Chain A
Amino acid sequence: MQSRSALTSVPMGDDLDIYEETGHAHVLCTAALDAGIIAAPLGRALGVDVPLAPGPVMVGEDRAAMWLSPRSWLIRLPEAAEDQVMQAVLARFPERTVHASRYSDQLCWLGIEGAASADLLAAGGFISLERDGLPIGHIKRTLFADVPVLIWRRAQSDWSVAVERSRAGYLAAWIARI
């Protein structure tokens, strides 16, 4: 159900394809307590378990949960589910020990695919300082071309890179320059 937008269509040659991922909503969940206490009920409210440790993205049927910090998670979900999930979190946590923020417009998601994708990412920064690199299915926050990003490795040469929307134009221009 992922759709591609022509907004950031950068002609890159046969071994690289870059596009804007659209068609999802995003909700940012921020906890006011330690995650261990709220994780289980939060997972029920969201319809996907929230990971308690960094690294692997928790992928559910039509939504996914990403660990951002010990007390915050980014939830990707269908656009139609956004309001319902916001309400479900508030209903489950009326004192806002977990708070759901609207986040669908905060980030711009770029899909980067193809044999040359790893080289493109390596030009902008370390994908990982680990000698094993970033494992498939994992997500991390880092700097790319001096811009804070989320990098989610979907497959060997298939990446989702999220950048704050105000900086997406800069990043697209930087990529086009490469």
Chain B
Amino acid sequence: MIVIRCPYCNELRHEEELEYGGEADVVRPDPGSADDIDWTDYLYMRTNTKGVHFEQWCCRAGCGQWFKVARHTVSHEITEVIPYDKKFAHQDRH
């Protein structure tokens, strides 16, 4: 039972209220210029991390907002929860 505090409605939400949205920061390539490999990578290729995974969640039964979460895929420890338009800490450093 994953519990995440939604950064938009500020409520603690448990996983029945949440929707998982897959890996975060997968960039949609420009469909006009992307070649087949770029495009199918965008569609199907994911990092499948064992460790800290950057991912998207939605406050589905709450305010309906999508946000981003850093979660350890083994321990489920959640180290960062940020609004969708913000960057994870490690991204800020670069």
Residues of A within 8 A of B (CB): 53-55, 67-70, 126, 128-130, 140-143, 148
Contacts and interface: CB of A to CB of B under 8 A. Distances in A.
A76 to B, nearest CB: 18
Given A54-B9, A129-B13, A70 B63 contact: yes
Given A68-B63, A141-B62, A142-B61, A129 B11 contact: yes
Contacts of A130: 11-12
A130 B61 CA distance: 16
A54 B63 contact: yes
A143 B61 contact: yes
B39 interface: no
Majority secondary structure, B binding face = loop
B62 to A, nearest CB: 5
A168 to B, nearest CB: 17
A128 B3 CA distance: 12
A18 B64 CA distance: 28
B65 A54 contact: no
B14 A129 contact: yes
Contacts of B63: 54, 68-70, 141
Interface string B57-86: 000011111000000000000000000000
Contacts, number: 42
Given A142-B17, A143-B16, A143-B17, A128 B11 contact: yes
B26 to A, nearest CB: 23
Interface of B: 3, 8-14, 16-17, 61-65
Nearest to A149: B61
A69 B3 contact: no
B8 A140 contact: no
Name the 10 nearest CB pairs between A and B, nearest first.
A129-B12, A69-B63, A54-B9, A143-B61, A141-B62, A69-B64, A148-B61, A142-B61, A54-B10, A70-B8
B2 to A, nearest CB: 12
Given A54-B11, A143-B16, 5 more contacts: A54-B10, A70-B8, A128-B12, A140-B9, A141-B61
Nearest to B3: A129
Contacts of A143: 16-17, 61
B8 to A, nearest CB: 6
Contacts of B61: 141-143, 148
Contacts of A55: 10
Contacts of B12: 128-130
